[in-house]
Chains A and B, each alone.
Chain A
Amino acid sequence: MRELLIDARLIAIKDLRIEARSRVLLNQVAPFALLVLVLFGFALDADQRTLRSFAPGLFWVAVLLAALLAVQRSTSLERADDAQTGLRLSGMAPSSVFLGKAAAVFLQLAVLEVLLTIGIVVLYGSQVDDPVLLILTAATAAVAVAATGTLYGALASGLGARETLLPILLLPVLAPVLIGATRSFDDALGTAAVDGWAWLGLLAVFGLVATALGALAHGAMIEN
């Protein structure tokens, strides 16, 4: 178990180091996510009251769209120069590779979520009523999205038309995360009278199942 976590840490550091050097997240994915928030503003006629009441849903749609890019980027790192084969030859357990890659995507999503939270506060005028619930929801949903995304990223890699295949495979699976995270944010931002903590429980179950399933199935997905 200890070895598994050490290897996962190595993989996560590798992916984050590549990100720090290439800055794809900061230069492309983050501006894209903010652009989505701005486009929602245009689409909803720049009415701040409407935007504020729909902010939770808009926030999570933006996160999911940006997550697609983050996952595709994470998968493409292993396709370049057939790095995937190198990873398989390294002797690391596939589950540690999965955990490492999912952890790297999680951290990138966490950065995106911070930026998007600032975005909805500034652009939509949202107010945070329950910061603890907000942070826990953002973290738990990010785990669920990162784990599912990493699994599906591996699953779609090596197949034709993977760039278009990933969204139609991944987004319907993440429907419960979108609903749960939106409702929990409704509570945290005070836009609807719901019990956000119950939704947080659903997100936690999803995150746990996705992480366990991903760690178990990743090996079968990356084998030739």
Chain B
Amino acid sequence: MADGRTSTGSSGSRLLGVITLVGLASLLLFAFVLTEPDVRLHPTTGEKFGQFDAVRLIYLHVPMAVLTYAAFLTCAASSAFYLVRRGAWWDVTAHASAEVGTVFCGLVLVTGSIWGRPVWNTWWEWGDVRLMTTLVLFLLFTGYLALRRTAADPQRQARRAAAVALIAVLDIPLINRSVEWWENRTLHQQSTLAELKIEDLTLFTLMLGFLVFGLVFAWLMLHRFRVGWLEQAQARHDVTLAIAERQAEMETLDVGAAIGESGGEK
């Protein structure tokens, strides 16, 4: 590597990784074993209803959803700073947060869909505002990442990617508003969190979910940032190396020509 590094890991990030793994194992234990399923009794008929075991996905889905929005906001803020200050640090942060955010966003859609099947009786609900907004957000940042993979001058690419990120985030309120007007309903608030009893162990597990996925997010960001930073250092190193090689080549040619000239005089 350009600055002598051969890995994106450090003692600090390894420690963070171990803590994250332990946290993930604990979260899975609490979410899938220790907490109770959501079972409620109908006040008049006495019939059982609720989300049953599907509620366990909430402990993963909700923290990931919040972190998705945090990642995209980080991307937009870093992009704005990049456009103002033109520092490589901001550009790499924007790219890293967009990539991690897109992965989280994809997982939010998948876990939401798996959870929606037993609870809403459908894999997908077109009229749900948050679902649709999240999907469009996912598509917007898929475009952002596609732009990041194009072959172009790095600074030009960084500038345009920053513009795309800012427009994407600006577009979100309009998408949200339009979908809300479109069907004027959202299943999220009606049938899930508002009715769900979040207390004691359930609340603890949800908070643990936020903490653990926060750690996962930080660990991924750290490594993705280092990868991006090393990529930039490598590109700069390659250019410096190529210039040095061309200069050395030119010097050799000059010496050769000089020798040839003096040989002719003899």
A-to-B contact residues, CB < 8 Å: 151, 155-156, 158-162, 165, 168-169, 171-173, 175-176, 179-180, 183, 198-199, 202, 205-206, 209, 213, 217, 220-221, 224
- The docked-state distance in angstroms from the alpha carbon of A34 to that of B159 is 37
B-to-A contact residues, CB < 8 Å: 83, 136, 139-140, 142-144, 146-147, 150-153, 156-157, 159-160, 163-164, 167-168, 170-171, 174-175, 177-179, 181-182
- The docked-state distance in angstroms from the alpha carbon of A224 to that of B159 is 11
Interface of A is mostly: helix
Given contacts A165-B147, A169-B146, 8 further A-B contacts (CB under 8 A): A151-B167, A159-B152, A160-B150, A165-B150, A169-B143, A172-B143, A221-B159, A224-B156
- The docked-state distance in angstroms from the alpha carbon of A168 to that of B178 is 20
B139 is contacted by which of A168, A180, A202 (Cβ under 8 Å)? A168
Once the chains bind, are A168 and B150 in contact (CB under 8 Å)?
Answer: no
Given contacts A168-B146, A169-B143, contact A199 B181 (CB under 8 A): yes
Once the chains bind, are B150 and A176 in contact (CB under 8 Å)?
Answer: no
Which residues of chain A are within 8 angstroms of B152 by Cβ–Cβ distance? Answer: 158-160
Once the chains bind, are B182 and A183 in contact (CB under 8 Å)?
Answer: yes
Chain B: CB-nearest residue to A195: B181
- The docked-state distance in angstroms from the alpha carbon of A179 to that of B171 is 13
Once the chains bind, are B181 and A198 in contact (CB under 8 Å)?
Answer: yes
Chain B: CB-nearest residue to A202: B178
- The docked-state distance in angstroms from the alpha carbon of A173 to that of B174 is 10
Once the chains bind, are A169 and B147 in contact (CB under 8 Å)?
Answer: yes
Which residues of chain A are within 8 angstroms of B170 by Cβ–Cβ distance? Answer: 209, 213
Could you list 8 examples of A-B contacts with CB < 8 Å? A155-B160, A155-B164, A165-B147, A175-B171, A183-B181, A202-B178, A220-B163, A224-B153
